[in-house]
Structure 1
Amino acid sequence: MPDRIGGLMDAPLLLSPLLNPSEVARQALNIETVSQLPVEFYEKTWQGAHPSEVESLVPTLNKILGVDQWSIGFTHPTEDLDHGRLISSYKELPTMLDKVKEQLKLADQIVAVNAADVAVKVLSTHILRDLVGNLRTFTSQRVRCMKCGSKPRRVPLGGVCHRRGGQLVATVFRMGVEKYLDVATEMVDRYQIRPYYHQRLDLIKLELSETFRPLPEEKAQQKLLISEFA
């Protein structure tokens, strides 16, 4: 349990049986009380009007405090708040690549969203960090013997397991390191992103090209032998 209010929001330390609307946060009262917004409100949105200019067009909760007779309408009525989608499509998508593509697709469709900003946030907080982190993990990984399954702390100079003489294979594979490379390239080329991200991705590609050999035309093998790095 937290020792102060706000430590953990799922464990309330203060419960009030009576709620006084005049004592709650001011933002909580900025909720419209009509079942249908006026046409003038939508016309003002097209004009890019300041919120203060449309404040008088939309009745809110703070305007009916202290009024004896009042009613609240809902623009989207429902019989049960529990109705609706129980599992989001984000959770149903199988891979992270699918999630990123659908996120950018949705950003392209919403006029109020700047898809380029979404792409920058995804690149800076996830994809580029993942590429760099996976490459670092690949270069410092441990190897595994294909016969006995042992994982020596250091790669034997002979290139084979010192216990059973089995071949040593990597535990982190190239496909896992480069899995976000194509989508990152597509994002920086498609959206008007700052040159920093282009240059950052170019440096990552340079490090990858110096670490791995060029892939053959046929599908790359899933298991890499230590001899391939000789």
Structure 2
Amino acid sequence: LMDAPLLVQPLVLPHESQPQAHNLEVTKSLPLEFFESTLQQVKASDVSSVEIIKSRLETERQFYDYFSTHSTSSLTTSKSRSAYSTLGSMLDKFDMQIKNAELIDAVNTSEIVSNVISTHLVPDIMGNLRAYARQNFRCTGCGKSYRRMPLIQTCVCGHKLIPTITRGSVEKYLKLAKRLVEKYDVSEYQRGRIHALSDEIELVFGKSQGDQSLLTDYA
């Protein structure tokens, strides 16, 4: 479990479960039509030859006759922890995911990378950059929070004010994103989007930390 359960429900109603669970196959065998669909590269959502839980919702058979194509004597493995919990950083986890994808001929690695960039990396970088622009400043002495940096650049108590969001948190996935767009066959739009975000971060922070331009530099 990823989180501690807060409620135990003795009777599970299939239509109340997560939509991902509705895609579970409940058939004894895979028909020939299924394999023909794989040769035609039909999307999984368009395959109707395999019965799934979704097709049984709101019927009596949503509660029984759940079959499987292969039997097993145990649902547990010898490993008590998954690789997701044993690997260190998110970069290590993603690299392992890409390595697994490259071993499977049926998986388009570039498509996976493209989806990760669009759904995770770009929104994360943009969100962190937006949060940096809206951040508060905290006093190292009394802990008072300021919405904007005062002109005197110190707290009323005389102590230093520090930002609550650092440059590292803003660009923590930028290096990974730049490496992915250079290594894999992604669209020119995505490649340009990552480079544009990189340029935007450099405009905010400077090419090296503490190298941000001042208004007086353009006077």
Would you call these one fold, judging by a TM-score over 0.5?
A: yes
Task: Check 1:74–1:140 CA distance in 2 against 1; reply closer, same or farther (3 A cut).
Answer: closer
SS for the counterpart of 2:138 is strand
Aligned position for 2:123: 129
Aligned position for 1:103: 97
Task: Check 1:149–1:112 CA distance in 2 against 1; reply closer, same or farther (3 A cut).
Answer: same
Computed over aligned residues only, the root mean square deviation of the Cα atoms, in angstroms, reads 3.4
Aligned position for 1:145: 139
Partners of 1:28 and 1:49 lie apart in 2 by: 22
- Code of the residue aligned with 1:174 in structure 2: it is R
Partners of 1:229 and 1:92 lie apart in 2 by: 42
Determine whether 1:155 maps to 2:155.
Answer: no
Cα deviations across residues 139-177 of structure 1 (Å, max 9, x unaligned)?
Answer: 110011111121123321111112x11111111000111
Partners of 2:188 and 2:171 lie apart in 1 by: 21
Cα deviations across residues 32-64 of structure 1 (Å, max 9, x unaligned)?
Answer: 6xxxxxxxx9xxx8xx8679xxxxxxxxxxxxx
Q: 1:189 aligns with which of 182, 185, 188?
A: 182
Partners of 2:106 and 2:97 lie apart in 1 by: 14
Unmatched 5+ stretches in structure 1: 11-26, 33-40, 52-72
Cα deviations across residues 40-96 of structure 1 (Å, max 9, x unaligned)?
Answer: x9xxx8xx8679xxxxxxxxxxxxxxxxxxxxx986x64323344343212322221
Partners of 2:183 and 2:104 lie apart in 1 by: 17
**Within 5 A, what are the aligned runs for 1:56-135?**
78-135=72-129
Partners of 2:79 and 2:112 lie apart in 1 by: 24
Partners of 2:168 and 2:123 lie apart in 1 by: 16
How high is the TM-score relative to the length of structure 1? Answer: 0.63
- Code of the residue aligned with 2:92 in structure 1: it is D
Contact persistence 2:29–2:69 (CA under 8 A): no
- Code of the residue aligned with 2:88 in structure 1: it is P
Identity of aligned residues (%): 31
SS for the counterpart of 1:144 is strand
Aligned position for 2:195: 202
Paired residue total: 170
Cα deviations across residues 73-125 of structure 1 (Å, max 9, x unaligned)?
Answer: 986x6432334434321232222111111111111121111100110111011
Unmatched 5+ stretches in structure 2: 1-8, 19-24, 42-67, 215-219
Deviation at 1:190, TM superposition (A): 0.5
Task: Check 1:157–1:112 CA distance in 2 against 1; reply closer, same or farther (3 A cut).
Answer: same
Partners of 1:192 and 1:99 lie apart in 2 by: 21
Deviation at 1:6, TM superposition (A): 4.7
Partners of 1:151 and 1:49 lie apart in 2 by: 60
How high is the TM-score relative to the length of structure 2? Answer: 0.66
